[in-house]
Amino acid sequence: MEVLVLDSNFQGLTLLEAFESLIWTERFCAFGDFEVYAPIDAVILNALKYDNYLWVENSDYVMVVEDWKIVTDPVNGNKISVTGRSLESILDRRIIWKQTILSGNFQTEVERLLNENAISPEISARHIPNLIFEASTDPIITALTIDTQFTGDNLYDAIQVLCAVNDIGFHISLSDNGSLVFKLYSGTDRSYAQFLNPHVIFSNEFENIDNGTFIGSTKSLKTVTLVAGEGEGVDRKTTSVDASTGAGEGLTRRELFTDARDISSTTDSGTLTPADYLILLSQRGTEKLSLQTTTESFDGQIEPSTNFKYGVDFFLGDIVQIENEYGMESRTRVVETIRSQNVSGIEVYPTFRAI
């Protein structure tokens, strides 16, 4: 992989060629990260400074240099290990400054969070230069609605949770004119469940995936949550929320407590009605339960000569078909892709999550 180093103004600085290994991870609903390991010299030290950026060919992701470690070794030579996260992590530098109630269209309200806390905030010093919001026309995204409240939450954490609840990805890309473009996306369905797009299937039969691992767990599963908002003792406002599959009973019922004391019925525009306040509590419960589900995932190494290539036939966030030799098959979303390069060559490791 060809690695381009950009300076803090996103101007090309140098090509990074003399590295020993590179791990480049892209994620659907979270920031990605990287690690590069190289012999240390003056060129490397000058290029891999804090807050410089890395980009690799055939990737839409740009990574921020955040950490480095120098290892001295008189026998094998001194080395430097540099790590960092993708551009989505810049949202981690902001909080939701004021109490904010989001209600209505999901995309419109996510844009509002960004506008008020990073793109065009009231405090000019909070503005992130060149950050813009690009609206999606995907009907899956435009049909979503939201009812929730934030006060003081980390901006990245809030957006990440909202997107995870709705199974929506988000990405900040670097445009040709230097803009940092935030956009929501849902991926393309390439599974057997549809016929508009060519099917993408990974299976032993097609001999296009190696060293696969299926993982399933109910350890974190919760089926109902008691959500407690403002108030004290017996006067505390509460509601319960069931999982989409039902709360269950007996041993199938798995309970969770959600502390939502931060949700207030008093706002800048007045006091919420009891019904509106319970809607906010219910949304918080739904968010928490969405993170406490049965997890099923699959990861494996894609054969270099496979008929389906990442970045050509399928992309991050797409829904594809997975089958194994034991007759297990599932529609899965591509939630992570790891590309690595070392002396052995370039390898691609996607992670698929059952949906």
Rg (CA), the chain: 23
Q: In the CATH hierarchy, which fold is given to the domain comprising 201-217+294-354? A: Elongation Factor Tu (Ef-tu); domain 3 (2.40.30)
Please report the pLDDT score of residue 127 as a whole number.
98
The reply to whether CATH 3.55.50 applies to domain 94-185 is yes
- Write out pLDDT tens, residues 72-129: 888 888 999 999 999 999 999 999 999 999 999 999 999 999 999 999 999 999 999 9
- Write out pLDDT tens, residues 185-213: 999 999 999 999 999 998 877 777 776 77
What are the angstrom distances between the C-alpha of 148 and each of 113, 280, 283, 284, 314? 12, 5, 6, 7, 34
Q: In the predicted model, is pLDDT for residue 153 greater than 90? A: yes
Please report the pLDDT score of residue 346 as a whole number.
86
Residue type (1 letter), 246? G
In this structure, are residues 21 and 339 in contact, taking their beta carbons and an 8 Å threshold?
no
What pTM value is reported for the model?
A: 0.90
What end-to-end distance do the CA atoms of the chain give, in Å? 32
